[in-house]
Amino acid sequence: MKDIYILAIESSCDETSVAILKNGNELLTNIIATQIASHKRFGGVVPEIASRHHTEQISYCIEAALDSAEVAVEELSAVAVTEGPGLVGALLVGMTAAKAFAWAHGLPLIAVNHMAGHLMAANLPDSDGSIEYPCLALLVSGGHTELVYVASEGDYKKIGETRDDAVGEAYDKVGRVMGLTYPSGKLIDEMAHQGNDIYNFPRAMIKEPGYEFSFSGLKSAFINLVHNAKQKGEPLDKVDLATSFQAAVLDILMAKTKAALKEYPEIKTLVVAGGVAANQGLRERLAQEITDIKVIVPPLRLCGDNAGMIAAAAYTEYKKNNFVELTENAFPSLAFDVMDEY
Ligand code: KG4
Ligand code: ZN
């Protein structure tokens, strides 16, 4: 049988990435051009700067991916691209490049939901597993926090999400108040292993039914505590602050995930993916508290944004001949439930 090569492009936020996946299970290359150094000084991603960097990088990344995978354009089976959710200008760069490339080389185009990408990163061999269905996914990133029920491959149904801040966003915002550089999730995670949970921050929605999350109250409680202490000239221990913040976050994530596993006992695999899945504290709690089903947390390099995960999700669509026209556009706020309508 002919080998299937999918070239995938990801440009939804601050990483320009191009990957080539062979037969759905061999990630030949996963080029990632990160823009973190540019956004750092602003304390967050500046959309216009992100778009400009994608424009500069995209052609080089495509060339570099083909070179490093040693795959000729003629061998490619399809082009895949993130169509949303993400920053509109950033998405448009990847979408336009993918459409032009597909048209120039007569290749079919696959449009991929960024969150489906995070989820399907778990299906790559480097994530140490193939997903068994039904599957539950806790997707935690800088832009999203959601629980997704996947009855069978590609059949995504969002069962809950944050009503305000995403968990990664909360990490980055409290990090800023602590004077940490952006993105601060990793630094807070490291500090959180050294202190004590003495501040007892609120655990919003934890006892309420359903799978909605809320992190803005936690963020505000943290910021108020720091500002009040500053005004009074009282010192605060940063390590204890980080430990207390992370304890509240993890209590919320674990409580909602465990409640969903209880409501859906048929679930065979729990996937925890997205940038915040790099969190060591979260990984430790998952290992300790969820022992009766398969848990897949992708390795660190597949947790952050990358095109390898987009290729993995695209392979599911490729098998279903789910291609889109070259009139396809980027959908900045595309979410799982909206996607069903297209
Ligand atoms: O998935 P991602 O690379 O980009 C988005 O799609 O948002 O996630 C980036 C987010 C940032 O908010 C960053 O602070 C957070 O992931 N992050 C972490 C850790 N590593 C990255 N949050 C908590 N603990 C970590 N170890
Ligand atoms: Zn992401």
pLDDT of residue 334: 63
Residue 215 domain-assigned (yes or no): yes
- To the nearest whole number, what is the mean pLDDT of the chain? 94
Q: How far is the CA of 90 from the centre of ligand 2 (A)?
A: 13
Residue 176 sits in the same domain as residue 218? yes
The pLDDT confidence band at residue 59, using thresholds 50, 70 and 90, is very high
Question: What mean pLDDT is predicted for residues 10-37?
Answer: 94
Percent of the chain predicted with pLDDT > 90: 86
User: Is there a domain that residue 125 lies in?
Assistant: no
Q: Same structural domain for residues 78 and 160?
A: no
In this prediction, residue 37 carries a pLDDT of: 87
82 — pLDDT class (breaks 50, 70, 90): very high
128-185 confidence digits (pLDDT tens): 769 999 999 999 999 999 999 999 999 999 999 999 999 999 999 999 999 999 899 9
Looking at the structure, do residues 102 and 72 belong to the same domain, yes or no? yes
Task: State the pLDDT at residue 290.
Answer: 98
Q: For residue 221, report the distance from its CA to the centre of ligand 1, in Å.
A: 21
Structurally, the chain folds into a number of domains equal to: 2
Question: Using a 6 Å cutoff on CB, does residue 297 contact ligand 1?
Answer: no
Has residue 291 been placed in a domain?
yes
Taking 80 as the threshold, does the pLDDT of residue 124 lie above it?
A: yes
Q: Ligand 1 pocket, 168 CB below 6 A?
A: yes
274 in a domain, yes or no? Answer: yes
Rounded mean pLDDT, 122-130: 88
The minimum-distance atom of ligand 1 relative to the CA of 143 is 7
What integer is the mean pLDDT of 97-103?
A: 98
Within this chain, do residues 317 and 206 fall inside the same structural domain, yes or no? no
Does 166 lie in the same domain as 75? no
Is the same domain home to 309 and 178? no
Range of the domain at 177: 130-297
Q: What is the pLDDT of residue 80?
A: 98
Model confidence band, residue 40 (pLDDT cutoffs 50, 70, 90): confident
- Model pTM? 0.94
On whether residue 115 sits in a domain, the answer given is yes
**What tens digit of pLDDT does each residue of 244-266 get?**
999 999 999 999 999 999 999 99
Q: Please compute the mean of the pLDDT values over residues 71-88 and round it to a whole number.
A: 96
Higher pLDDT, 338 or 49: 49
In a domain, 28, yes or no: yes
276 lines ligand 1 (CB under 6 A): yes
* Domain end point (choices 265, 282, 297): 297
Residues 160, 93 share a domain: no
CB of 298 closer than 6 angstroms to any ligand 1 atom: no
In whole angstroms, what is the distance from residue 171 CA to residue 40 CA? 15
pLDDT band at residue 335 under the 50/70/90 scheme: low
- Rounded to the nearest whole angstrom, what is the distance from the C-alpha of residue 236 to the centroid of ligand 1? 25
Q: Is the peptide bond before 47 cis (omega within 30 degrees of 0)?
A: no
Looking at residue 100, which CATH number applies to its domain? Answer: 3.30.420.40
Dist CA 329 CA 25 (whole Å): 28
Predicted confidence at residue 338, as pLDDT, reads 47
The answer to whether residues 87 and 15 belong to one domain is: yes
* 275 plus 327 within the same structural domain: no
191 and 312, same domain (yes or no): no
Asked if residue 41 is part of any domain, the answer here is yes
Q: What per-residue confidence (pLDDT) applies to 327?
A: 87
Residue 81 lies in a domain: yes
**Tell me: the pLDDT tens digits for 271-292?**
999 999 999 999 999 999 999 9
Ligand positioned closest to the Cα atom of 116: 2
Residues 6+ apart with CB under 8 A from 106: none
Asked if residue 24 has its Cβ within 6 Å of ligand 1, the reply is no
Q: Are residues 57 and 176 in the same domain?
A: no
Q: Band of the pLDDT at 341, cuts 50, 70, 90?
A: very low
Confidence at residue 25, expressed as pLDDT on a 0 to 100 scale: 94
Which has more pLDDT, 329 or 150?
150
Q: What is the pLDDT of residue 310?
A: 98
User: Residues of the chain with pLDDT > 70: what percent?
Assistant: 97
Do both 162 and 184 map to the same domain?
yes
Q: Is the pLDDT of residue 220 over 50?
A: yes
- pLDDT reported for residue 337: 56
